[in-house]
A = this chain, B = another copy of it.
């Protein structure tokens, strides 16, 4: 259990890194939406390995097939199944993993929980699993764009201590995609790329922060008290591999302010209620207020490093491990489309939930 996400726009993913394939079923997508495989492929290509010198050289086309739910180019309202077959399976790289647990990986906990694991490439715990999410996210984005003109954009704002100041209200997809680290500030991006190349050569790895903005979000999304919009967003982000933290709006920094400094005062812009500042991050009381939703996700440095580490074997002996195989020295550039996908899935689900409550809300 645990492979489904969403209440009305509900996805279920399947697949291990080195099994027959990876994919997703999307149940609850509204009918009559025009979808092409190319739109989904575009997002998968942003996620796929081997896309640049700072990602893993593992070569996978990650070519998607849509096996159900479409008819003459339009969604049927029935479950959409998207499949990506696995191809480049160099299982021999993983022979040592069969017997040793990689530090800060899921090997030991999967073994403990299930009594078995597919040790090839991390099995189900591999970030390859996110293919299904990114594919589903492409459709969620389309629903949001079509029904509400909502736009979702993520980007890297910090790698280790190299950080960029990005204006979430102005950043564009073109800026994000203009460099391989997906930081919209080209000068900082260069520094980040250099830092990643350095740790790659050392067999080490880096982490950092991805920020995500959602613009033109309808007022009224979110279902207090447990399915508050920020609660579902937090779950969405923390369900991604390698995440260690989540912030909405002012986040942890906001705790250094007083209430007087922190509060977002209201004003009228025509007949629309606006806030002067946006420390709330576009959500108040668990419900979107129409301002930009702004969140940040902390990604730890990649657990797989090519240096010797102390570990234990499956049979309980102390040993050492020097990982081989092909790995990302920094997951953030490829995690950008994953963050967008998860945010899109949450917003799309809540969009449909709010439409059930009030069909005229948007």
Q: Contact: A79 with B14, CB < 8 Å?
A: yes
Known: A112-B287, A204-B258. A353 touches B356 (CB 8 A): yes
Q: Write 28 A-B pairs (CB below 8 A) sorted by A numbering.
A: A1-B27, A2-B225, A2-B227, A3-B79, A3-B224, A4-B27, A12-B12, A31-B357, A71-B118, A77-B114, A77-B116, A103-B264, A105-B285, A109-B220, A113-B287, A204-B260, A207-B262, A208-B255, A230-B238, A234-B234, A234-B235, A238-B248, A244-B281, A247-B298, A259-B305, A261-B301, A262-B300, A352-B356
Q: Contact: B254 with A303, CB < 8 Å?
A: no
Interface residues on A, range: 35 or more
Q: Mark A237-261, 1 if CB is under 8 A from B, else 0.
A: 1110101111111111011111111
Q: How far is the CB of A100 from chain B (nearest CB, A)?
A: 9
Interfacial chain B residues near A89, Cβ < 8 Å: none
Q: Contact: B108 with A68, CB < 8 Å?
A: no
Contact residue among B125, B205, B219, B299 (Cβ-Cβ distance under 8 Å from A224): B125
A16 an interface residue at 8 Å Cβ cutoff?
yes
Q: Contact: B356 with A267, CB < 8 Å?
A: no
One of A48-56, A173-181, A186-194, A308-316 contacting the partner:
A308-316
Q: Contact: B234 with A238, CB < 8 Å?
A: yes
A134 an interface residue at 8 Å Cβ cutoff?
no
One of A38-46, A164-172, A272-280 contacting the partner:
A272-280
Q: Contact: A14 with B67, CB < 8 Å?
A: yes
Interfacial chain B residues near A182, Cβ < 8 Å: none
Contact residue among B68, B114, B273, B280 (Cβ-Cβ distance under 8 Å from A104): B280
Contact residue among B124, B160, B287 (Cβ-Cβ distance under 8 Å from A110): B287
How far apart sit A252 and B158, CA to CA, in the bound complex (Å)?
A: 11
Residues of A342-362 contacting chain B, CB below 8 A: 352-361
Among A160, A161, A279, A286, chain B packs the most CB atoms within 10 A around the CB of: A286
A223 an interface residue at 8 Å Cβ cutoff?
yes
Interfacial chain B residues near A305, Cβ < 8 Å: 259-260, 263
Q: Contact: A15 with B81, CB < 8 Å?
A: yes
Q: Which residue of B is nearest A246, CB measured?
A: B246
How far apart sit A299 and B248, CA to CA, in the bound complex (Å)?
A: 11
Interfacial chain B residues near A69, Cβ < 8 Å: 14, 16, 19
Q: Contact: B106 with A20, CB < 8 Å?
A: no
16 more contacts with CB within 8 A, not counting A71-B116, A247-B252, A356-B356, are A1-B27, A2-B224, A3-B224, A14-B67, A14-B81, A76-B114, A103-B266, A103-B275, A207-B254, A207-B256, A231-B234, A234-B234, A254-B301, A259-B304, A265-B311, A273-B316
Among A23, A246, A279, chain B packs the most CB atoms within 10 A around the CB of: A246
Interfacial chain B residues near A246, Cβ < 8 Å: 234, 238, 245-247
Q: Contact: B252 with A226, CB < 8 Å?
A: no
Known: A103-B264, A124-B76, A284-B109. A114 touches B31 (CB 8 A): yes
Residues of A1-39 contacting chain B, CB below 8 A: 1-5, 7-8, 10, 12-16, 19-23, 25, 27-28, 30-32
